[in-house]
Structure 1
């Protein structure tokens, strides 16, 4: 999955109540994934919105079934 040994954050941009965290990793031994986590939090510090964007399309196509399996199991 994306949280494997190759996962690492490579950039970070912060605002008062949000952050964009750029990451990269490799899945299936050969597919390079580049993406961002976009996080917004409320006044209490709890996350209120979390969005993940992934590229290239080959990586997205490989991640979708992995995420579906993780959410079902």
Structure 2
């Protein structure tokens, strides 16, 4: 079994049934920047990054098919390739993270493919973000 850094293990444990939102809040640095596959500008700050990632958790993990296929870690950087399926659409993506020396995420970048999957995830996440803002 591959061993990862403590901070990457914390991220992975949040996806495997831990308190996702508590772990997400703990692992994001205050100055975190989120790069979305659909937004043309970076989303800056812990609050915005939290909203986008919490929404992504709700959308991508909903059907229980999300899994990381490949994880590469070097120093404070990690690249995690994932797959999931929503409404019969196979989604392939990459999460790229940079951690600070305290083990918090300072940069989170997401890439998705194919276009049909990107469009589906965009629609679902926009609806989820609206629901979160209304709550």
Scaled to the shorter chain, the TM-score interval is over 0.9
Tell whether 2:90 aligns with 1:45.
Answer: no
TM-score, scaled to structure 1: 0.92
The structural deviation recorded for 1:45 is 0.8
Structure 2 counterpart of 1:21: 80
Distance 1:60 1:54 in 2: 6
> Of Structure 1 and Structure 2, which has the larger fraction of its residues in helix?
2
Two-structure CA RMSD over aligned residues (Å): 0.9
1:57 maps to which of 112, 115, 122: 115
The structural deviation recorded for 1:70 is 1.7
Distance 1:45 1:12 in 2: 17
Where does structure 2 lack aligned partners over 5 or more consecutive residues? 1-58
1:41-62 CA distance string (max 9 Å, x none): 1111110011111000010010
Q: How many residues align?
A: 72
The structural deviation recorded for 1:65 is 1.1
1:6-64 CA distance string (max 9 Å, x none): 11110001110010001001001x10000011010111111001111100001001000
Distance 1:18 1:71 in 2: 27
TM-score, scaled to structure 2: 0.51
> Of Structure 1 and Structure 2, which has the larger fraction of its residues in strand?
1
- Which contiguous aligned blocks of 4+ residues in structure 1 show a shift greater than 3 angstroms? none
